[in-house]
């Protein structure tokens, strides 16, 4: 019995090992082609990454991994300094060294803007401000106490705190200000306009959508803003929002080192995606992404619609395995995310379906197994969906490559027959000349 059980365990282990080895690393990269499609590109990356992550044959490499760490080193360093100063101030408060504690709390405040890019919620910022308010209360400085409490409540009205800095006098002021805020809180406005547009904006750790964005419901006081975009360094800042006028933040994001390395190939890559063909640009991008495959897409805004061209490229085989195009209407019912995921899943499945059929045909001696049943269909018949969807599991480049391989095989066979060798060579030369004359700006490389 134990022997049989060990064989079962071994078989299961081998099965898991096989599946793990069969899985391929896959990345997603979307290229917006106009200013209005930047936000859609960011959203579509998230939708397609979820589709890849749910596919059993894929190991997702997120954009944050393939395009570099976006958190600035300076922000990480500033956050460490902030934490250190805050910890020291708390120890000094416990020892009743209020002047020394206030000095360290002011030093921590000096790191706020620099540290914001490394923070996802108010955390240490609110903790610093609330302790500064506590120290001011212990020193009898009510105005300074109220100013610091106002900033904390503006960022997080439910922030939790405790410690020796918060005496009865402080708690009375805090409860009064919180009650006034709930009854009649003062509201200000903040606009965030980034370069490039379509960057995700977080205010006090809350996702506020994609830039450009205007927020007209922020409480008066200090707020911390973080801006994220795949392939760019995260931006962070502290912003004062007042009742009068609108505050505007216009950060210019800096690309990561990894994204900078592929930036020169982006325009050529977009043409490859739209034409569903490969070139040196596609090969270079694949080498930088360091994955086996990638879902690559171009996005355009067409009136109130969004046009997505999508390909699945295999960098180990140097082939475009499958492709899809679709125009999406306005997302009235919140379904566009599911539709984009469905599109990505179909493109992946189409490539796996072809690979499975090719393996069956290569191992079969039955001539009928070498036909897919699609040879006599038109291009529209071969698509998965009609209308706005267009899915093709084999593009023209793959068919051309297969034909070239067949011609090469025939040429090698004809070398044994001198009478036919000259004709075959002449035909091959003519085809190469025709291919060169019809090629576009980016020469396709061998294998694509």
Q: 29 pairs with which residues across the strands?
A: 296
- Residue 183, pLDDT above cutoff 80: yes
Residue 14 — very low, low, confident or very high, per pLDDT cuts 50/70/90? Answer: very low
- Average pLDDT estimate for 226-240: 92
- For 130-157, b/e burial (b = at least 16 CB within 10 A) is bbbbbbbbbeeeeebbbbbbbbbbbbbe
Are 134 and 173 contacting, i.e. CB atoms less than 8 angstroms apart?
no
Report d(CA 325, CA 42) in Å as an integer.
18
Contacts 24+ apart (CB under 8 A), 85-89: 85/111, 85/128, 86/124, 86/127, 86/128, 86/131, 89/128, 89/131, 89/135
Give the length of the chain.
448
- Residue 425, pLDDT above cutoff 80: no
- pLDDT, residue 77, reads 94
- pLDDT, residue 383, reads 38
Greater model confidence, 55 or 385: 55
Burial class of residue 227 (count of CB atoms within 10 Å of its CB; 0-12, 13-18, 19+): buried
- Residue 22, pLDDT above cutoff 70: no
Are 40 and 306 contacting, i.e. CB atoms less than 8 angstroms apart?
yes
Cα dihedral 117, 119, 125, 127, rounded to 10, equals: -170
As a whole-number percent, the residues of the chain with pLDDT over 90 amount to 45
Q: 222 pairs with which residues across the strands?
A: 240
Q: Any alpha helices (H) in 166-252, and if so which ranges?
A: 168-184
State CA 180 to chain mean position distance.
41
- Residue 431, pLDDT above cutoff 70: no
Could you tell me the pTM of the whole model?
0.68
Taken in order of first residue, the domains within the chain and their CATH numbers are: 23-67+258-357+388-438 (3.40.50.10070), 73-184 (1.25.40), 187-249 (2.60.40.1120)
């Amino acid at each position: 019995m134990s022997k049989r059980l060990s064989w079962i365990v071994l078989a299961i282990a081998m099965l898991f090992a096989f599946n793990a080895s069969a899985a391929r690393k896959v990345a997603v990269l979307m290229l917006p082609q106009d200013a209005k499609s930047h936000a859609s590109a960011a959203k579509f990356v998230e939708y397609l990454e979820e589709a890849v992550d749910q596919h059993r044959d894929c190991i997702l490499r997120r954009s944050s991994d393939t395009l570099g760490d976006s958190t600035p080193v300076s922000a990480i360093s500033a956050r460490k300094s902030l934490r250190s100063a805050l910890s020291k101030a708390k120890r000094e408060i416990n020892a009743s060294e209020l002047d020394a504690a206030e000095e360290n709390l002011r030093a921590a405040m000096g790191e706020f803007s620099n540290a914001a890019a490394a923070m996802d919620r108010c955390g240490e910022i609110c903790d610093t401000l609330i302790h500064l308010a506590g120290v001011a209360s212990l020193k009898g400085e009510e105005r300074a106490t109220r100013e610091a409490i106002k900033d904390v409540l503006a960022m997080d009205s439910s922030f939790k705190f405790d410690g020796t800095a918060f005496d009865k006098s402080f708690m009375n002021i805090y409860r009064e200000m919180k009650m006034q805020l709930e009854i009649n809180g003062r509201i200000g406005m903040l606009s965030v306009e980034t370069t490039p547009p379509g960057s995700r904006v977080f205010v006090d750790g809350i996702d506020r959508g994609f830039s450009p964005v205007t927020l007209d419901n922020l409480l008066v006081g200090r707020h911390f803003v973080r801006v994220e975009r795949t392939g760019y360094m995260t931006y962070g800042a502290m912003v004062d929002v007042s009742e009068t006028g609108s505050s505007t933040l216009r950060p210019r994001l800096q690309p990561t080192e990894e994204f900078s390395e592929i930036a020169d190939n982006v325009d050529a890559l977009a043409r490859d995606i739209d034409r569903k063909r490969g070139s040196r640009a596609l090969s270079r991008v694949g080498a930088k992404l360091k994955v086996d495959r990638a879902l690559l897409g171009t996005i355009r805004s067409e009136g109130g619609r969004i046009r997505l061209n999508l390909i699945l490229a295999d960098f180990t085989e140097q082939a475009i395995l499958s492709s899809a195009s679709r125009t999406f209407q306005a997302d009235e019912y919140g379904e566009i995310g599911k539709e984009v995921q469905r599109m990505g899943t179909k493109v992946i499945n189409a490539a796996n379906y072809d690979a499975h059929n090719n393996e069956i045909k290569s191992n079969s001696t039955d001539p009928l197994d070498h036909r897919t049943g699609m040879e006599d269909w038109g291009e529209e018949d071969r698509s998965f969906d009609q209308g706005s969807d267009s899915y093709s599991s084999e593009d023209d480049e793959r068919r051309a490559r297969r034909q070239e391989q067949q011609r090469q095989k025939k040429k090698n066979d004809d070398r044994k027959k001198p009478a036919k060798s000259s004709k075959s060579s002449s035909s091959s030369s003519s085809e190469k000349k025709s291919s060169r004359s019809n090629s576009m700006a980016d020469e396709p490389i061998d294998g694509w």
